[in-house]
Amino acid sequence: MSLQQKPALEDEAADVAAFRRSLGQWLGEHLTADVVAAGQEGYDEGDNLEVLRRWSASLFEGGWAAVSWPARFGGRDAGVEEQLAYHEEMARAEAPGPVNVIGVSNIAPAIMQYGTEGQTARFLTPMLRGDEIWCQGMSEPDAGSDLASLRTSAVADGDVFIVNGQKTWNSLGRFADWCQLYVRTDPDAPKHKGISCLLVDMKTPGIDVRPVRTMSGDLTFSELFFDSVRIPATALLGPLNEGWRVAMATLSHERAGVAKLHLGLSRRFDQMLRDARHSPRLQDPVCRDRIAALYSEIACMRWTTTRDLEALGRGTAPSAAGGSGTKLMWARIDQELGELAVTLMGLDGLSGRWARNLTSSRSASIAGGTTEINRNIVAEHGLGLPREPR
Ligand SMILES: Cc1cc2nc3c(=O)[nH]c(=O)nc-3n(C[C@H](O)[C@H](O)[C@H](O)COP(=O)(O)OP(=O)(O)OC[C@H]3O[C@@H](n4cnc5c(N)ncnc54)[C@H](O)[C@@H]3O)c2cc1C
């Protein structure tokens, strides 16, 4: 009943199959058990961060840190099929991706598109090797879904900007060396027009990082406070007041990254069945029904993603639901998996990894765009329904 089926290699183009084999062989030679464990436990435990940094450097040396990146920046110019093969092989081997998950997937594309030669030369390699960790400072206490309402200000003063304000829900903030920070540089312009993006050294005096403990017990997030922080004008990424366009440049290379969502769910589904193998609840008809429903939903997500990626490969439009529809499916399945695992495990599920999974899965319908916002996008852009009153 495993969802982690072997790909049909005979259906694959020869070059993609060779790419897959080459990665599989490299992983066989380099991936160790401590790296797999660190990837599963997360940055918070012991010296996992250092283990994962070393793993990132190793991926970089092997040319496997970001296959979708252009070759001149350390990638492989991989097409959609190769990217998909990459994610499948990495998931099968339970290999963690680069430690700098936000930097590599979200920030680097913006630096490639809008950065000066000096900025691309300075930042991309240390980011990809995991030598410098990046966080993304967008959300504020009063600006989340409506990001364009952000109020953290940057006032030009000679060759520096003076930054004041507060960011919140900042993933990796307490580990970060650099922050891609969105600030208001023109308070009089319409709200989408007066935003700029700065690349900020987190060691700059006046930045206070305060970790926030979540209900899972970990310190996933931080709040960032900026008190008259002097940031050099050369830190500006893209044109002044065009930060909204910079924010939209995210994910321009990583087209197959969406496959990571169903691959992660498949892995956890299989793990849940292994851990619950002695549970008497496996005989319960209601539980069996929920297991079958979950299996079907993950399989549906897999086929929807595969169909969308094939459409991308052919240069045609993906399904009406697009990325927002996939995010909606993922969030719902992730939360059902969290709840079902604890039901199956009984008392054993109330501590350890499944308890942690249950609580952390609540964030799935908030992170990266809330469920309500994504439903609006599917309704308005996918289905052509009337726009929500604004
Ligand atoms: C795991 C995780 C990691 C994160 N990492 C980062 C990070 O690294 N950097 C960063 O800047 N931010 C990060 N965030 C913050 C995240 O981007 C915001 O939480 C998200 O954008 C929602 O904003 P908010 O929390 O302010 O909620 P709000 O926008 O205030 O929304 C509150 C509620 O109102 C609903 N709502 C809002 N507007 C509408 C509307 N127009 N129609 C219908 N319903 C609406 C929402 O769906 C939600 O239920 C992270 C969040 C999580 C959970």
Give me the domains of the chain, ranges plus CATH numbers. 9-99 (1.10.540.10), 134-247 (2.40.110.10), 255-382 (1.20.140.10)
- pLDDT grade for 252, boundaries at 50, 70 and 90: low
Pairing outcome for strands 160-171 and 153-157: antiparallel
Q: What is the mean pLDDT of the chain?
A: 91
pLDDT in tens, 116-133: 999 999 999 999 999 999
Whole-number pLDDT of residue 319: 63
pLDDT in tens, 185-218: 999 999 999 999 999 999 999 999 999 999 988 8
Say yes or no: CB of residue 373 within 6 Å of ligand 1.
yes
H-run or E-run covering 49: helix 48-62
With the most atoms of ligand 1 within 8 angstroms of its CB, the residue from 200, 226, 366 to mutate is 366
Residue whose CA is at the smallest distance from ligand 1 atom 5: 171
Q: Nearest Cα to 222, choosing from 168, 179, 181, 175?
A: 168
Does the structure show a pLDDT above 50 at 9?
no
- pLDDT grade for 314, boundaries at 50, 70 and 90: confident
Does the structure show a pLDDT above 90 at 321?
no
Query: Which of 146-150, 158-162, 195-199, 310-314 has the weakest average pLDDT?
Result: 310-314
What's the average model confidence in pLDDT over 173-190? 96
Positions annotated as catalytic residues are 254
**pTM greater than 0.85 (yes/no):** yes
- How far is ligand 1, taken at its centre, from the CA of residue 367, in Å? 6
Taking the CA atoms of residue 209, residue 149, residue 134 and residue 355 in that order, the dihedral angle to the nearest 10 degrees is 70
Q: How many CB atoms neighbour CB 182 within 10 A?
A: 26
Q: Rounded to whole angstroms, what are the CA distances from 207 to 122, 138, 149, 170? A: 22, 15, 22, 13
Q: Nearest Cα to 97, choosing from 136, 43, 59, 41?
A: 59
Please tell me the distance from the alpha carbon of residue 211 to that of residue 218, in angstroms, as a whole number: 10
Whole-number pLDDT of residue 246: 93
Give me the residue label for tokens 């990837």.
39
- How far is ligand 1, taken at its centre, from the CA of residue 34, in Å? 34
Say yes or no: CB of residue 370 within 6 Å of ligand 1.
yes
Structure tokens at 18: 């060779």
- How far is ligand 1, taken at its centre, from the CA of residue 369, in Å? 6
Please tell me the distance from the alpha carbon of residue 166 to that of residue 113, in angstroms, as a whole number: 27
Whole-number pLDDT of residue 216: 86
Structure tokens at 263: 């691959």
Q: Nearest Cα to 138, choosing from 150, 154, 156, 122?
A: 150
Say yes or no: CB of residue 171 within 6 Å of ligand 1.
yes
Atom of ligand 1 nearest to the CA of 102: 8
Does the structure show a pLDDT above 60 at 7?
no
Whole-number pLDDT of residue 344: 96
What's the average model confidence in pLDDT over 63-81? 92
H-run or E-run covering 136: strand 134-137
Does the structure show a pLDDT above 60 at 288?
yes
Angle of helix 80-93 relative to helix 14-30, nearest 10 degrees, comes to: 30
- How far is ligand 1, taken at its centre, from the CA of residue 138, in Å? 10
Structure tokens at 205: 């005096």
Whole-number pLDDT of residue 312: 75
pLDDT above 70 as % of the chain = 94
7-19 residues labelled b (16+ CB within 10 A) or e (exposed): eeeeebeeebbeb
Query: Which of 61-70, 211-220, 269-278 has the weakest average pLDDT?
Result: 211-220
Residue whose CA is at the smallest distance from ligand 1 atom 31: 145
What's the average model confidence in pLDDT over 31-57? 91
CA 57 to chain centre: 19
334-354 residues labelled b (16+ CB within 10 A) or e (exposed): bbbbbebbbbbbeeebeeeeb
Say yes or no: CB of residue 304 within 6 Å of ligand 1.
no
pLDDT above 90 as % of the chain = 75
With the most atoms of ligand 1 within 8 angstroms of its CB, the residue from 100, 139, 142 to mutate is 139
Q: Is 99 helix (H, G, I), strand (E, B) or coil?
A: coil
Residues ≥6 apart with Cβ < 8 Å to 42: 48, 218
Whole-number pLDDT of residue 175: 93
